[in-house]
Chains A and B, each alone.
Chain A
């Protein structure tokens, strides 16, 4: 009898322990604790850093804003069409992400050009076409350099700055940044490394599931 109880106890403990708990992605950036009253009780809430409002011109010469990404997860990056080194590799890898999530209306890609002078709309359009991108799921945008760099350094690349072993700056290091539906940064991946892009795709699956489960 005692043996049977022990077996049952072990089964009850081991089975739930073996069940894999889904990985949760970290939230990067500054955070602030605020007090809120809910049903007469004081609770502490956390406000996370989010990507601020923006508007840029895209490859179709249309002004797009942050609202285009409302209710979607998206991958952001920084590039320029005449880049001879990092960007071609990064975008070849990002094509895998595009192919995997093509047609998924919860997913978008946003590539910011850092060459305001030459990357005008029609140049971005022919770059996108040459890459094999159609439709509006992958946006290629241009905006004043100060604004693009400001967004990159202060918002998108918040998780990269400290860890990067890059010899210089990090806007032109080929990072792919994963942003959730609440516009919070959830990951940054080296877009020049195939294994990191695989990780990005797997993390995008996690993020899509997470939002379906209501966080």
Chain B
């Protein structure tokens, strides 16, 4: 009788351990998902860089000739602001990449999970920073009839 209970307890422990492991692997903030998110953000970083270059072309092709610009100072300030937004998102991304530890192991499984959850949250926040910075110049581009650089689908 005692032996049966011991076996059952051992089996139950084994099953819960397996479930915990599976949960950890399938967890929403697993390392694989972080890497996928990172690669998506790298594409956004590339898009941000192209937009920055496009903002520079406004200076060169429209600004110098005075084409379509009535308030040159305001336009110049706006271009600087938009480029700053893009650079800021990029800076944060570089900081994240530099500080991220893909091989992180905490003292416990909870601690490790908490670390990757925190990193996933940082990437989500970066994602919205990029989205905002990439969308911000649309109005200016529309004004100058410039087609925006979009990420490839």
Contact = CB atoms under 8 A, between A and B. Distances in A.
B153 A145 contact: no
Given A82-B100, A84-B35, A117-B94, A168 B53 contact: no
Contacts of B38: 84-85
Interface in A128-155: 145-146, 149-150, 153
* Interface size range on A against B: 20 to 34
B23 interface: no
Interface residues of B, number: 25
Contact of A167 (B52, B53, B98, B153): B153
A145 B38 CA distance: 18
Contacts of B43: 166-169, 172
A169 B151 contact: yes
B97 A80 contact: yes
A123 to B, nearest CB: 10
A85 B39 contact: yes
Specify the main secondary structure of chain B where it touches its partner: helix
A170 interface: yes
B11 interface: no
Interface of A: 80, 82-86, 115, 117-118, 145-146, 149-150, 153, 164, 166-172
Give the 4 A-B residue pairs with the shortest CB-CB distance, closest first. A168-B43, A169-B46, A172-B42, A169-B43
Given A86-B39, A117-B98, 20 more contacts: A82-B100, A84-B97, A115-B97, A117-B91, A117-B95, A118-B94, A118-B97, A149-B46, A153-B50, A166-B152, A167-B40, A167-B43, A167-B151, A167-B152, A168-B40, A168-B43, A169-B42, A169-B47, A170-B46, A172-B46
